[in-house]
Chains A and B, each alone.
Chain A
Amino acid sequence: MVRITTYVFLGSVILLSFLHLASNVGAQSLVSSSTISVAAIVGSLPTIDPGTHGGGGNATQSGVRFSGFAYPYAIITVQKDLNDVSTVLADEKGLFTIVLPENNQQFFSLFATDTRGNKSTLINFLTTQYSGYLTDVTGIRFAPTITTDKIVVKQNDYITISGSALPNVQMIITFSGAQDTTFTLAADERGYYSITAPLQLAVGEYTVKIEYKENPTTSRVLRIVVGTSNVYQIEATSNIPGDCNVDQKITLADFSVLAYWFGKKNPPRCVDVNNDGQITLVDFSIVAYYWNG
């Protein structure tokens, strides 16, 4: 009888601890995020704080918490096995925290959608949950979003690159191709950035990306052509490899089209993303990289 009473008491304490932890997530996120922002706001990879997974023995009381920085008022979407399960709005500084109940090892994907509807690259987490514990993943930093006003730029003409990023953080835009060039800039306090610059590069194909100066987190890589005339980016065009239905995103539909052509001859140009005349694992890898469904 004494033993049962003890178990009931311990169980109640554990339950209350867990509920208290979950209900105070907002307050805790501010503390932990400000701590992270001092030491490694841009430089650190997501880390796990083992100290917060204290608790105890009820299989129904485990979960995972994701926290970090996105762009101000960005929508953070959490997917489980590539299906949307939850969203949360980042605050005016881009801070976000989200808690999900989960008992098993689970594959989560997170992406941020900025206020203009542009999506970040995916960040994946294969998390392990322990019964009665909260797996706390902190220090997440979403890569900047990126769009261009043109997909083909007349040589020496201007291109505008814009998107959203962590506010007031130094970033580098890199053009890579026959020649390389970089531009340095920072997003404003609303998280917006935009740069219009002349492309004094040799004619040819280039890739353009933006990354935080002190962080390896890199945006999606877009393809740009420097040519003899301008072709503007419109809804009917896309410079995202593998985006065959030109919906400006890579989803299961694009994967299915790629899978259909796997092993078949004469695939369409938009499917054969590395232009080698065949569909191989490399094409799948490139599409997986650009995935933001």
Chain B
Amino acid sequence: MDDCMKHFLITCLAILSITSSVYGASISIGLPEKVQVGTRISAQVVIDTENENINSFDFTIAFPKDLVSFDGYGDQGALVPLWIVPPREDAGSIYLSGIIPGGVDRTYDPEHPQDYRVTLTTLYFVVKKTGVGSLIFTHALVLKNDGHGSAAKTTVQPTVITSIESGIPSTVSSDTVPPLPFIVTIIPKPPFGKTPSLAQFNATDTESGIEHYEAAIHNGKWVRVTNPYALPYRVFPYMLSIRAFDFSGNYREQDIRVGEMLDQRVVAVSILIVLVLLLFLYRRKRKLYE
């Protein structure tokens, strides 16, 4: 077989190791049947709510890291508006959790009005070599939109996909599109709370998802941060810059001026210091006259 025309077989077995039940949410991963080495494949994380209104989830998905590498995620056509933990890879597992404010129970599709499947997100992988592998949910928690955070029962929907493809090998196209413009919002420190002032930013990237954020103050050193970012205390206003990086290294930068007001404790301490100083000067002056 010609090297250039070499085609490979990957069998992807999605084993869902979740509690078995007749009713409740069922989770699956949609994978293409035919994949080639060097291509970027998409795996849709799909939940069939079975008419249960759900609003949050927490998954860990193990993948065959010798066969494929994690290459980001996509929000286009997906559901999750707020990530608690955006999809991230660590030692062959992908961790992801998020919430859907108000919950969701189905996709409103005129062609499939009784379809209760919703795509939470799409995970991307790059195929490295031939072989057989499996994607396994090693942890799956889905909560109902009931105001109590009750766990929804989940069902097992094993999916086996085997494919052989012969054709022209393709290569992974590089993502050069930076994340979309985003807004940095300052959440002030509550007067009597112990939560610090926070900078909040939810960037999105259509090609590969947000991989990480970095922050810099006054064009200083860039440091990796998470969203939300606890703002360092400064007496005077300062410029905060946030960079959102996608999985391909493209980034988008947004700046915001943080005009943090002097908080009550600083004001109180300052007044105290001034009073002590005045008292000291007054006594010293009296001593001089005596």
Closest residue on chain B to residue A259 by CB atoms: B228
Q: Which A residues are CB-close (under 8 A) to B187?
A: 245, 253, 256-257
**Is B227 part of the binding interface, using a Cβ–Cβ cutoff of 8 Å?**
yes
Given contacts A82-B81, A285-B143, A288-B99, contact A268 B108 (CB under 8 A): no
- Contact size class for B? 35 or more
Selected interface stretch from A21-29, A91-99, A122-130: A122-130
Is there an interface contact between A285 and B118, defined as CB atoms closer than 8 Å? no
Of A221, A259, A274, chain B has the most CB atoms within 10 Å of the CB of: A259
**Is B32 part of the binding interface, using a Cβ–Cβ cutoff of 8 Å?**
no
Is there an interface contact between A288 and B81, defined as CB atoms closer than 8 Å? no
**Is A283 part of the binding interface, using a Cβ–Cβ cutoff of 8 Å?**
yes
Is there an interface contact between A50 and B194, defined as CB atoms closer than 8 Å? no
Closest residue on chain A to residue B75 by CB atoms: A81
Q: Which B residues are CB-close (under 8 A) to A105?
A: 77, 107
Is there an interface contact between B200 and A253, defined as CB atoms closer than 8 Å? yes
In residues 85-128 of chain A, which contact B (Cβ within 8 Å)? 104-105, 107, 109, 121-128
In residues 150-166 of chain A, which contact B (Cβ within 8 Å)? none
Is there an interface contact between B101 and A122, defined as CB atoms closer than 8 Å? yes
Instruction: Tell me how far the C-beta of B148 lies from the nearest C-beta in chain A, rounded to whole angstroms.
Output: 7
Is there an interface contact between A282 and B143, defined as CB atoms closer than 8 Å? yes
Q: Which A residues are CB-close (under 8 A) to B100?
A: 124, 288
Contact string against A for B residues 66-110, beta-carbon threshold 8 Å, 1 for contact and 0 otherwise: 000000000011010110100000000000010111111011111
Is there an interface contact between A260 and B108, defined as CB atoms closer than 8 Å? no
CA distance A241 to B148 in the complex (A): 10
Selected interface stretch from A30-38, A132-140, A195-203, A226-234: A132-140
Q: Which of A137, A256, A290 contacts B228 (CB 8 A)?
A: A256
Is there an interface contact between A287 and B99, defined as CB atoms closer than 8 Å? yes
Q: Which B residues are CB-close (under 8 A) to A135?
A: 108-110
Is there an interface contact between A268 and B194, defined as CB atoms closer than 8 Å? yes
Given contacts A53-B110, A253-B200, A261-B195, contact A291 B101 (CB under 8 A): yes
Instruction: Tell me how far the C-beta of A146 lies from the nearest C-beta in chain B, rounded to whole angstroms.
Output: 13
Is there an interface contact between A274 and B149, defined as CB atoms closer than 8 Å? yes
**Is A4 part of the binding interface, using a Cβ–Cβ cutoff of 8 Å?**
no
CA distance A2 to B25 in the complex (A): 53
Instruction: Tell me how far the C-beta of B283 lies from the nearest C-beta in chain A, rounded to whole angstroms.
Output: 43
**Is B230 part of the binding interface, using a Cβ–Cβ cutoff of 8 Å?**
yes
Q: Which B residues are CB-close (under 8 A) to A121?
A: 102
CA distance A191 to B106 in the complex (A): 29
**Is A289 part of the binding interface, using a Cβ–Cβ cutoff of 8 Å?**
yes
Per DSSP, are chain A's interface residues mostly helix, strand or loop, or mixed? mixed
Is there an interface contact between B56 and A284, defined as CB atoms closer than 8 Å? yes
CA distance A126 to B193 in the complex (A): 37
In residues 173-220 of chain B, which contact A (Cβ within 8 Å)? 185, 187, 190, 193-196, 198, 200, 202
**Is B232 part of the binding interface, using a Cβ–Cβ cutoff of 8 Å?**
no
Is there an interface contact between A48 and B55, defined as CB atoms closer than 8 Å? no
Q: Which of B97, B145, B228 contacts A260 (CB 8 A)?
A: B228
Q: Which of B113, B190, B228 contacts A244 (CB 8 A)?
A: B190
Instruction: Tell me how far the C-beta of B42 lies from the nearest C-beta in chain A, rounded to whole angstroms.
Output: 15
Q: Which A residues are CB-close (under 8 A) to B195?
A: 244, 257, 260-261, 268, 271
CA distance A137 to B108 in the complex (A): 8
CA distance A270 to B193 in the complex (A): 9
Instruction: Tell me how far the C-beta of A237 lies from the nearest C-beta in chain B, rounded to whole angstroms.
Output: 14
CA distance A216 to B147 in the complex (A): 14
Q: Which B residues are CB-close (under 8 A) to A285?
A: 55-56, 99, 143-145, 148-149
**Is A281 part of the binding interface, using a Cβ–Cβ cutoff of 8 Å?**
yes
Given contacts A252-B200, A259-B227, contact A281 B102 (CB under 8 A): no
Given contacts A48-B108, A281-B141, contact A104 B77 (CB under 8 A): yes
Q: Which A residues are CB-close (under 8 A) to B106?
A: 126
Q: Which A residues are CB-close (under 8 A) to B165?
A: none
**Is B50 part of the binding interface, using a Cβ–Cβ cutoff of 8 Å?**
no
In residues 178-201 of chain A, which contact B (Cβ within 8 Å)? none
Is there an interface contact between A282 and B149, defined as CB atoms closer than 8 Å? yes
Closest residue on chain B to residue A269 by CB atoms: B193
CA distance A290 to B113 in the complex (A): 27
CA distance A291 to B101 in the complex (A): 6
Q: Which B residues are CB-close (under 8 A) to A56?
A: none
**Is A13 part of the binding interface, using a Cβ–Cβ cutoff of 8 Å?**
no
CA distance A284 to B103 in the complex (A): 12
Q: Which B residues are CB-close (under 8 A) to A207?
A: 147
Instruction: Tell me how far the C-beta of A86 lies from the nearest C-beta in chain B, rounded to whole angstroms.
Output: 17
CA distance A244 to B193 in the complex (A): 9
5 A-B pairs with the lowest CB-CB distances in the bound complex, closest first: A122-B102, A282-B149, A291-B101, A285-B149, A128-B109
- Contacts beyond the supplied A285-B143, A286-B148, A291-B102: 4 A-B pairs with Cβ under 8 Å: A82-B81, A257-B198, A260-B198, A287-B101
